Structure 1
Amino acid sequence: MDASGAIRISNFLGSSSSRPAPFSIATRTHTALTDGRIQSVVAQNAELRVLSNAEIADCLASLAQLLTLEKANPYKVRAYRRAAGLIRGLGESIDDLVRSGAELRGYAGIGEGISAAVREIVETGTLKTLERLRSQVSPELAELSTYPRLDPVRVLRIYKKLGISDVQALRSSLESGEIQQTFGQRMAQHVRFGLVETQSILLYHAHQLRKSIENFLLTRAGVERVEAVGAYRRRVETIESLDFLVQARDFPKVVETVKRYGGRTPLLESSSITARYALASGPFLCLECATKRNWGIALIRTTGSRAHLRKLTRISGSLKGLDAESSFASEEAFYKRFRLQYIPPELREGLDEVSRSRKAAIPELVTQQEVRGDLHAHTTASDGADSLLEMASAAQRLGYEYLAITDHSPSLKIANGQSLEDLRVQLRAIDRLNAELSSFRVLKSAEVDILADGSLDLPDVILRELDMTVCSIHSRFSLSREQQTNRVLRAMDNPYFTILGHATGRLLLKRPGYELDFERVIEHARERGCFFELNSSPDRLDISAEIVRIVREAGIKIAISTDSHSTAEYATIQYGIEQARRASLSKNDVLNCTPLKELLRLLAATR
């Protein structure tokens, strides 16, 4: 447990003997009723510790990291990471579930293989596959491996080249310029980013965790009413604290009960109406108790942001004073009292939302139901998990009118980029599929790499056969701001450039984006008549709400796309929609909220 009280993934490259024991050790026993007598059956390895969900998740996350080094199937690696995240966020104790014989495969993301691995961890205290992989890696890397945002492959490269095996040496090498001189600017940037200690989690993970905590509060802790507030309710990209407003008759009892969430959740501080805990998954868990009478005002106050509340209180006066003096059972009652238009939580960041509210100038924000199609999706033709037919059929079942198939272009070999001949084969397959489908259109497209010199990775002779393109950068992230900007501007000059995909290349909490002069890029896109993508992938959410807002103000439509690599990932459109709402987008600002006929007209107009 670090100084903030958060449990960190530990020693996924080190030997098992070096792993810390963050919780007190207890004898694990199994009990059985035989001939009327209770028999205590001690587990095979005598005094095994009762494992918390966090420790089980750590094992799975460690396995995923080591499988990455072994260049295992990326879908297998992803499955272990997803399962680790799921288990870390569960309210029930996995140790108890396994010992009671419960079926783990009922949980989304836990299949037969992962279920067996979890049982092995609980029943033996270890995982043979994990121990085998650990034995193949130098234990000297254990300290560096406690930083989960450091890519294990890069850590290994640094160790082999420079012999660096501890954090202090890594920091010194970074500050002296040795890492940049040896490996380049991008490696130095990654190391600097990876060494920043954080307790934040992605909004996507917070969403899963929120559901688990709400269920625990309502079914186990005696809470009568609960709502997630704070940064989560405002749909901020990364979450440092999961905050909940609750209504309960016995709040002290709630505080005690929550200590048992996920097996163990340490209480850091509490008062008569608040409590703060350290969640094993990283962020803090904060509770505040409110009454039915003051629920609305408490909801506004706990949702924030502070900047928003400062502007709001210039009109209303102190919210705490109102809390004591007035009755606001709902947020709507508060806004009505002060003659303000309701401000959606996603907009409450202290920008111009309060002044717009006074003028009733807040637009009707875009909703998921208004999306008519997805303009970025991959199939098994490149690095997707599902076929063309499966991706199209799933999109049609969602009620979509269209889907753009955007498999990778040839230069992106790591993602199995298609050759020109393979792309032509796919285009013919799309023609055949469209002939069979009714009220649905598969758009011919590709995710075309923007090469280092700004040229596109497909020749014009084949680009002209496509309905549209998503043009993205997947290499040479370390170019200077000027070079990267000129690269994008030159790409936009190609008449077949349609949409700029994930424009900064960032991976939230893992990799910072490359630098662009967005003022120049946005102006050039406006002149050219092309579009920007808001990539809904939970670890990207690229571009940020701030940039989306500027793009909207320039009059450029934005495609909210999922970058799906499987049919299951279509659901991530939710996160793109939430990001768009934070930027005050309405359906009229969103390219894929337009009907098919209008979309085809807009796409054709870019050429």
Structure 2
Amino acid sequence: MQNADIARILNRLANMLDIEGANAFRVHAYRSAAQTIESHPRALQEMVTHDAPLTELDGIGRDLAEKITELINTGRLTVLEEAEKRLPSGLLQLLRVSQLGPRRIRQLHEALGIDSLETLKKAARDGRIRALEGFGEKTEAGILKEAERLNDAPPRTRLDEAHRAADDLIAWLEHAKSAQRLSAAGSLRRGRETVGDLDILVSSEDGPAIMAHLMAYPEIAETVSHGKTKSTLRLHSGLQVDVRVVGDESFGAALYYFTGSRAHNIATRKMATDRGLRINEYGVYKGKQQLAGRTEEEVLAQIDLPWIPPELRENRGEIEAALEGTLPELVTLDDIRGDLHMHTTASDGKASLEDMARAAKRRGYRYIAVTDHSQRLAMANGLDARRLREQMTEIDALNERLKNFTVLKGNEVDILEDGSLDLPDDVLKALDVCVFSIHSRFDLSREKQTARILRAMDNPYVNILAHPTGRIINGREGYDVDMEAVLHGAKARGVFLEINAQPARLDLADHWARMARDIGVMLAINTDAHATEQLGHMALGVTQARRGGLERQDVLNTRTVTQLRKLMKR
């Protein structure tokens, strides 16, 4: 059982208890433990096998450690099974509707018997929801509109979870004696924020030997099909995997073909046809003669194209740019000099101010901004003006001890419903970096939500709009906002937006990142880390930026700290 599987189960339990109305601190404990486990560098399965105490992990006491051990040893969690007997599982799907939190879902279930997306939609169409206290006609219409966009199909796998599954399987296949080159392909290689299934390619002259080694992989839950050069499997996580073996002379062609996207491949196959050539998963052919196939570069050269980064292969202008010699030089992880959004134990983080700073320094960064929550988020232990000023003093003292590294004074200040901010201007003025964001009233109309954000931008002391749409991947849709108007507003005011690299957010989406680039709004790629391990999410944020076609100069935190300070002064 992988850490991600354990975290997913604990989050499911937390959601069910939250809907039931269980003690808020108990619910928070499960969510917090899931967050800790998901980012923990050591597999808890291994810790349990070697009798390493799970209570050493932050936020995991004896009772929770016993439950995790039960889950690892038996594959079952009694407390979850009991909760599932008490509540219909379809209630969890309702959390994907942004207007519905646990309290409202409980109210709908108790008053109207709603227990699935289908029964929710029917009740809304029948006009039965508006009569409940706290809802009304407008809220009912918003619920119906969003529920109709959703369906009961299982959600696609998040990018970070797909990466872990692919990395583990590739590490297993590397031990097969006849394996040569290995790679993930498909939407995972293109960096899409969710993945439907995995494509794994292996070059080898002995397909049956690779397949035999594959079938001993302990994460296999079901063998869908099994052959000499291709097998389809389902992992314990539910993720489906296709593993293909090709000769090494065809590995580049197979990698290109199975990376996709389909629209990109159709366009390049037409280019090949126009030249009297044929491209397939085995190579580039003129008649029966293979002209190329060993590498992707060889394949593309046959149709007069340079290598195109996988993140751009969506047939959104990358082929035309390649032909014109104007492909962007995409930003890389090595370009990032700092991280401008993170949390410490002062609010809801897991590590101290100094621990976060030293962990970032070990990653080669030159600066960070510490941006704990403001007072409005009481459940996150948000900072009021007094506590924030105390933290600023603590940062000054830490900066005196650190060498060649700067901790910037920051805060993630809440945007209130009317667009005002959660802390007074005299406090915000003293910050080096002010991140501002929405954590409430997702149900405002498009016009009001947009006006709310633009008014917040009018404050001269804010800098970076965090997780700009508020979405949670596989959890909830973002709030309704005119993102183009927000981007133009940011440009006019000298404000920046964020690509939040938390794998459940990856917010902005790639198409909005591309629009920001075209409008001329720089984006900060930030991890929103709540633990030192989560600083590693930066790689996912960089992938999202690359899918948006961003270059180094389009990203705020590729600047030096001196350049950054100037940009923060509006």
- Normalised by the length of structure 1, the TM-score is 0.80
Counterpart residue identity of residue 492, structure 1: M
Question: 1: CA distance between counterparts of 2:410 and 2:7?
Answer: 39
Q: Confirm whether residue 282 of structure 1 aligns to residue 238 of structure 2.
A: yes
Give the structure 1 partner of residue 254 of structure 2.
298
Task: Classify the secondary structure of the residue corresponding to 2:341.
Answer: strand
Q: Which residue of 2 aligns with 1:453?
A: 418
Helix, strand or coil for the counterpart of 2:369? strand
Offset at residue 272 of structure 1 (A):
5.7
Matched, 1:209 2:165: yes
Match in the other structure for 2:128: 178
Q: Deviations over 1:531-570 (max 9, x none)?
A: 1111011100000110001101111111001111111111
1:79 corresponds, among 33, 36, 53, to: 33
Higher deviation after alignment, 56-65 or 515-524: 56-65
Whole-Å separation in 2 of the counterparts to 1:603 and 1:417: 23
Contact 2:467 2:499 in 1 (8 A): yes
1:404 match: 369
Counterpart amino acid of 1:204? D
Matched, 1:581 2:546: yes
Offset of residue 333 of structure 1: 1.8
- CA separation of 1:201 and 1:497: change in aligned 2, threshold 3 A: same
Structure 1: tracts of 5 or more residues without a match: 1-50
- Residue 139 of structure 1: CA displacement? 3.1
Percent identity, aligned pairs only?
Answer: 36
Deviations 1:330-379 (A, max 9, x none): 11222333332211111111111111111221122111111111111111
1:103 — aligned with what?
50
Matched, 1:268 2:224: yes
**Does the 8 Å contact 2:93/2:116 carry over to 1?**
no
Equivalent position SS for 2:515: helix
Pairing 1:177-196 to 2, within 5 Å after superposition: 177-179=127-129, 182=132, 183=135, 184-185=139-140, 195-196=151-152
Q: What SS does structure 1 have at the residue aligned with 2:530?
A: coil
Is 1:161–2:111 an aligned residue pair? yes
Q: What is the CA–CA distance in structure 2 between the aligned matches of 1:409 and 1:77, rounded to whole Å?
A: 20
Distance 1:126 1:223 in 2: 36
SS of the aligned residue for 2:306 comes to coil
Q: 1: distance between equivalents of 2:3 and 2:358? A: 37
Deviation by residue 1:426-475 (Cα, 9 ceiling, x = unmatched): 11222222233222211111111111111111221211111121111111
Picking from 213, 216, 225, the partner of 2:181 is 225
The count of aligned residue pairs is: 544
Q: Does 1:246 align with 2:202?
A: yes
Instruction: Give the partner amino acid of 1:586.
Output: E
Which residue of structure 1 lines up, in the alignment, with residue 85 of structure 2? 139
Number of the residue aligned with 1:4: none
Which runs of no fewer than 5 residues in structure 2 stay unpaired?
none
Where does 1:533-548 land on structure 2 (aligned, <5 Å)? 533-548=498-513
Of 519, 526, 532, 1:567 maps to 532
Residue 479 of structure 1 deviates from its aligned partner by 0.7
Moved more, 324-333 or 284-293: 324-333
Q: 1:275 to 1:231 in 2, by over 3 A?
A: same
Q: How far apart are 1:169 and its partner, in Å?
A: 3.6
CA distance 1:338–1:122, change in 2 (3 Å): closer
Instruction: Find the aligned partners of 2:218 and 2:39 in 1 and give their Cα distance.
Output: 13
Find the counterpart in structure 2 of residue 508 from structure 1.
473
Q: Which amino acid in the other structure matches residue 161 of structure 1? A: A
- Pairwise mapping of residues 117-136 of structure 1 onto structure 2 (< 5 A)? 117=67, 119-121=69-71, 127=77, 129-130=79-80, 134=82
The verdict on how the C-alpha distance between 1:501 and 1:421 changes in structure 2, with shifts beyond 3 A counting, is: same
Alpha-carbon shift at residue 326 of structure 1 (Å) = 2.4
Deviation at 1:586, TM superposition (A): 1.4
Identify the residue that residue 332 of structure 1 maps to in structure 2: 297
Instruction: Say whether 1:466 aligns with 2:420.
Output: no
State the one-letter code of the partner of 1:238: T
1:522–1:403: structure 2 CA closer, same or farther, 3 Å change rule? same
Letter in 1 for 2:526: S
Distance 2:475 2:230 in 1: 32
Q: Which residue does the alignment assign to 2:350?
A: 385
- Tell me whether 434-443 or 509-518 shows the greater mean CA deviation: 434-443
1:576: how far off?
0.3
Q: Structure 1 residue 319 and structure 2 residue 292: aligned?
A: no
Contact residue 180 and residue 187 of structure 1 kept, 8 A: no
The 5 A counterparts of 1:16-95 are 63-66=13-16, 68=18, 69-71=22-24, 72=26, 74=28, 76-80=30-34
Q: Which amino acid is 2:279 matched to?
A: L
Deviations 1:50-102 (Å, cap 9, x if unpaired)?
A: x9999988865654445554432635434347758999xx9x9x7xx89xx94
Label 1:53 to 1:280 Cα distance change in 2 as closer, same or farther (>3 A). farther
Give the whole-Å Cα distance in 1 for the aligned partners of 2:398 and 2:178: 54
Say which SS state the counterpart of residue 339 (structure 2) adopts: strand
Q: 1:498, CA displacement in angstroms?
A: 0.9
| SS of corresponding position for 1:268 | strand
Q: CA deviation at 1:172?
A: 2.5
Deviations 1:277-302 (A, max 9, x none): 33332332112221111111111111
Q: Report the Cα distance in structure 2 between the residues aligned to 1:400 and 1:303, rounded to whole angstroms.
A: 32
Alpha-carbon deviation of 1:149? 5.8
SS of corresponding position for 1:311: helix
Higher mean C-alpha deviation, range 324-333 or range 118-127: 118-127
**Residues 220, 234 of structure 2: 8 Å contact kept:** no
Q: 1:455 to 1:273 in 2, by over 3 A?
A: same
* Residue 424 (structure 1) shift: 1.3
Q: 1:198 offset after TM fit, Å?
A: 2.1
Q: What corresponds to 1:234 in structure 2?
A: 190
2 CA distance for matches of 1:517 and 1:326? 49
Letter in 2 for 1:499: I
C-alpha distance 104-197 of structure 1, shift in aligned 2 (>3 A) = farther
Q: Root-mean-square deviation (CA), in Å? A: 3.5
Q: Does 1:551 align with 2:491?
A: no
Contact 1:386 1:567 in 2 (8 A): yes
Distance 1:149 1:369, change over 3 A: same
Query: Structure 1: how far apart are the matches of 2:107 and 2:37?
Result: 28
Which residue of 1 is the match for residue 314 of structure 2?
A: 349
Task: Please tell me whether the aligned partners of residues 379 and 405 of structure 1 are also in contact (alpha carbons under 8 angstroms).
Answer: yes
Q: Deviations over 1:365-404 (max 9, x none)?
A: 1111111111111111211111212222222222222111
Alignment of 1:466-485 (within 5 A): 466-485=431-450
Deviation at 1:192, TM superposition (A): 5.6
**In structure 2, the residue corresponding to 1:511 is in which secondary structure?**
coil
**Which letter maps to 2:284?**
L
3-state secondary structure, aligned to 2:221: coil
